[in-house]
Amino acid sequence: MLTPSRLALARARRGLTAVELARKAGTSPASIGDYEHGRRHPQPATTARLTEALGFPAGFLEADDVPEIDVVTRPAPKRQRDAAISAARLAIGFDAWLAGAFTFPEPDVPTWDHPDPDTAAEMVRARWGLPHRPAPNMVHLLEAHGVRVFSLPQDCAAAGPFSLRHDGTPYVFLDPTATPDQARFDTARELGHLIRTGDAQTFATAFLLPRAGVLATVPRGALTEQVVALSTTWHVSPLTLAHRLRDLGLLTSPQYTTVCAQLARRTTGMAHRETSQVLTKVFRTLRAQGTTPHAIARELLLDVEELNGLVFGLVLTALPGQGDRSHPATPHLTLVRR
């Protein structure tokens, strides 16, 4: 029997209106509304046509409900926003499947509602035992403290990144089209959203560029070449560092303007996006056991393209010799023997 919420989720994930789905499946828009609200159930042949029209594997529309989530995304067209939220719901279902096979780190992301983002950043760094030095791979760091990090599929990029908590577990969903520098900053900013600091943008800057650490390592009146070199040390974009130096009084307004003008004429930044240690370990372990991504997708009633979209940029670049070469905190991940 068709599960109404699954039909609504699948339609949203594909970015279809009821009229468009009805046309593809050979039924009426009114029938789609009835099916999604549980007022009546389609015949098996109609369910099969709906499944085919939506491009999901057989059985997807008849499986158990997928958890609802409450999330705020950045402004985006409704179709892309709904598609992104639906993808996030599928990722949470994937995470539940993983939790049945692996033991992940317990969440350690406080909720303080702290109005001062600089102080909140210092408190999180102190809680996590980070000195006033450059933060390690931010994805690894969040995973080590129980945050589940996924990618949004590329067709959902307009709505991301965003974060949420579900059943006590914090989740971060990243924009697959972001540059390596921006993706790192986005990860820090979503940490600020999870903590509920007043200004997540300022929190991210303060977390990646702690006041004490910057004041101790960056000279007053740094020239553009120095800003570029130091941005590599701190794993941020040169413009982000220049902005922080201005706010900390290490660059005057004229100096800041000059540095930004010179930076606009050059291309600099991180070479690779930060990747997931947890998901890399998961897929390597499953592969060693003979479980392929196709097999996982089949068990989740997804196609492998959908599964790949949820880990895009987080796994494939995490092979030896690539990715971030710092020494981040290592998430504790163990396999549950079934």
Each residue's pLDDT tens digit, 265-275: 887 778 899 99
The Cβ of residue 84 has, within 10 Å, a number of other Cβ atoms equal to 28
Torsion of the alpha carbons at 95, 98, 104 and 107, rounded to the nearest 10: 20
The residues pairing with 165 across neighbouring beta strands, listed in sequence order, are 170
62 phi, psi to nearest 5 deg: -110, 5
**What pTM was estimated for this model as a whole?**
0.90
Residue 337 has pLDDT above 60, yes or no: no
Residue 335 has pLDDT above 60, yes or no: no
**Same domain, residue pair 257 and 300:** no
Q: What is the pLDDT of residue 94?
A: 95
pLDDT 10s digits, 65-76: 998 998 989 899
Number of H helices, E strands in the chain: 16, 5
List C-alpha distances in Å: 206 to 117, 185, 213, 243, 326: 7, 11, 10, 11, 20
**Same domain, residue pair 174 and 291:** yes
**Same domain, residue pair 32 and 149:** no
More confident residue, 323 or 59: 59
Q: What is the pLDDT of residue 332?
A: 55
Domain with 241 in it: 211-263
Q: What is the pLDDT of residue 331?
A: 54
Of 218, 220, 221, 246, nearest in space to 232 by CA: 218
CA atoms within 13 A on the CB side of 287: 7
Q: What is the DSSP letter of 133?
A: S
**Same domain, residue pair 45 and 16:** yes
H or E stretch at 80: helix 78-99
Q: What is the pLDDT of residue 266?
A: 85
**Same domain, residue pair 191 and 120:** yes
Q: What is the pLDDT of residue 127?
A: 95
**Same domain, residue pair 164 and 309:** yes
Query: What average pLDDT does range 279-304 have in this prediction?
Result: 92
Residue 103 has pLDDT above 60, yes or no: yes
**Same domain, residue pair 196 and 216:** no
Cα–Cα distance measured from residue 182 to residue 188, given in angstroms and rounded to the nearest whole number: 10
Residue 1 has pLDDT above 70, yes or no: yes
What domain count does the chain have? 3
Residue 307 has pLDDT above 70, yes or no: yes
pLDDT 10s digits, 167-191: 999 999 999 999 999 999 999 999 9
The residues pairing with 148 across neighbouring beta strands, listed in sequence order, are 171
Structural Rg of the chain based on CA atoms: 22
Q: What is the pLDDT of residue 325?
A: 37
Query: What average pLDDT does range 238-260 have in this prediction?
Result: 97
Mean of per-residue pLDDT scores for the chain: 91
The Cβ of residue 48 has, within 10 Å, a number of other Cβ atoms equal to 14
**Same domain, residue pair 204 and 220:** no
**Same domain, residue pair 226 and 302:** no
**Same domain, residue pair 133 and 189:** yes
Cα–Cα distance measured from residue 124 to residue 126, given in angstroms and rounded to the nearest whole number: 5
Cα–Cα distance measured from residue 178 to residue 194, given in angstroms and rounded to the nearest whole number: 20
- CATH label of the domain that carries residue 18: 1.10.260.40
